[in-house]
Structure 1
Amino acid sequence: MTKQNTFLNDLRNEAITGVAYKNLMLKKQILEYFANISDATITDLSKGLNASIPKINELVVALIEDGLVKDSGKTEVGIGRRPSLYGLKSNSIFFVGVEVKKSHVNIGLSDFKKNLIKSVKRIPFQLTNSQASLDDLCIIIDDFIKSLALAENIAGIGVNLTGRINYKTGYSYSFFHFNEEPLSVIIKDKIGIRTYIENDSRAMAYGEFCSGIVDKEKNILFVNLDYGIGLGIMINGELYYGKSGFAGEFGHIQIFNNEIICHCGKKGCLETEASGSALLEAFKIRLQQGASSIITKDRPDFNDIQLEDIIQAANNDDTLAIELIAEIGEKLGRGIAALINLFNPELVILGGSLSATGDYLFLPVKSAINKYSLSLVNNDTELKMSKLGENAGIIGACLLVRERLLELK
Structure 2
Amino acid sequence: MTFFEEINNDSLAGVALKNINIKKAVISYFANTGNSTIADLCKELALSAPKVNNILNDLLADGLVKDYGKVESTGGRKPNIYGLVAESAFFIGVDVKKTHINIGLSDLKKNIIKYTEHLPYQLANTQESLDELYELIRNFIKSLKTPKDKILGIGINLSGRINYTTGNSYNAFHFNKKPLNKIMESSLGIKVFLENDSNAMAFGEFSSGVVNGEKNVLFLNVDYGLGLGIIINNQLYYGKSGFAGEFGHIPMFKNEVLCYCGKKGCLETEASGNYLLRMFKEKLASGLASSINRDPKNIQLEDIIKAVNQDDTLAIETLADMADNLGRGIALLINIFNPELIVIGGSLAATGDYLRLPIRSAINKYSLSLVNVDTKIQISQLGEKSGVVGACLLSRNRVFNIA
The normalised TM-score by structure 2 is: 0.98
Q: Secondary structure of 1:12's match?
A: coil
Aligned to 1:92: 88
Letter in 2 for 1:263: Y
Bigger shift: residues 367-376 or 28-37: 28-37
* RMSD value, Cα: 1.1
1:126 corresponds to 2:159: no
Aligned to 1:239: 236
Q: How far apart are residue 110 of structure 1 and its match?
A: 0.8
1:281 corresponds to 2:278: yes
How far apart are the structure 2 equivalents of 1:31 and 1:334? Answer: 44
Aligned to 1:264: 261
Q: How far apart are residue 80 of structure 1 and its match?
A: 4.2
Q: How far apart are residue 154 of structure 1 and its match?
A: 0.5
Q: Secondary structure of 1:159's match?
A: strand
How far apart are the structure 2 equivalents of 1:31 and 1:262? Answer: 45
Structure 1 alignment gaps of length 5 or more: none
Letter in 1 for 2:300: Q
Bigger shift: residues 154-163 or 17-26: 17-26
Aligned to 2:321: 327
1:33-61 per-residue CA deviation (whole Å, 9 max, x = no partner) reads: 11111311222212221111111111111
Q: How far apart are residue 371 of structure 1 and its match?
A: 0.6
Aligned to 2:165: 168
Q: Secondary structure of 2:129's match?
A: helix
Aligned to 1:26: 22
Q: How far apart are residue 84 of structure 1 and its match?
A: 1.4
Q: Secondary structure of 2:143's match?
A: helix
Query: Which among 349, 355, 360 is matched to residue 355 of structure 1?
Result: 349
Query: Which among 385, 399, 409 is matched to residue 393 of structure 2?
Result: 399
How far apart are the structure 1 equivalents of 2:14 and 2:126? Answer: 42
1:357-390 per-residue CA deviation (whole Å, 9 max, x = no partner) reads: 0000000000000110001111121111111111
How far apart are the structure 1 equivalents of 2:236 and 2:363? Answer: 24
Superposition map of 1:169-208 within 5 A:
169-208=166-205
1:372 corresponds to 2:369: no
How far apart are the structure 2 equivalents of 1:398 and 1:288? Answer: 44
Q: How many residues align?
A: 402
Aligned to 1:384: 378
Q: How far apart are residue 245 of structure 1 and its match?
A: 1.2
Query: Which among 2, 12, 17 is matched to residue 16 of structure 1?
Result: 12
The normalised TM-score by structure 1 is: 0.96
How far apart are the structure 1 equivalents of 2:107 and 2:130? Answer: 26
How far apart are the structure 1 equivalents of 2:78 and 2:337? Answer: 51
Query: Which among 104, 110, 128 is matched to residue 106 of structure 2?
Result: 110
1:316 corresponds to 2:310: yes
Superposition map of 1:58-77 within 5 A:
58-77=54-73
Letter in 1 for 2:132: D
1:304 corresponds to 2:301: no
Letter in 2 for 1:22: K
1:336-363 per-residue CA deviation (whole Å, 9 max, x = no partner) reads: 0011111111111110000000000000
1:96-141 per-residue CA deviation (whole Å, 9 max, x = no partner) reads: 0000000000000111111111111011100000000000011111
Q: How far apart are residue 306 of structure 1 and its match?
A: 0.7
Query: Which among 190, 213, 235 is matched to residue 216 of structure 1?
Result: 213
Q: How far apart are residue 159 of structure 1 and its match?
A: 0.4
Letter in 2 for 1:140: L
Moved over 6 A (4+): none
How far apart are the structure 1 equivalents of 2:250 and 2:81? Answer: 53
Superposition map of 1:40-79 within 5 A:
40-79=36-75
Q: Secondary structure of 2:199's match?
A: helix
Bigger shift: residues 19-28 or 182-191: 19-28
Bigger shift: residues 352-361 or 17-26: 17-26
Q: How far apart are residue 7 of structure 1 and its match?
A: 1.1
Q: Secondary structure of 1:82's match?
A: coil
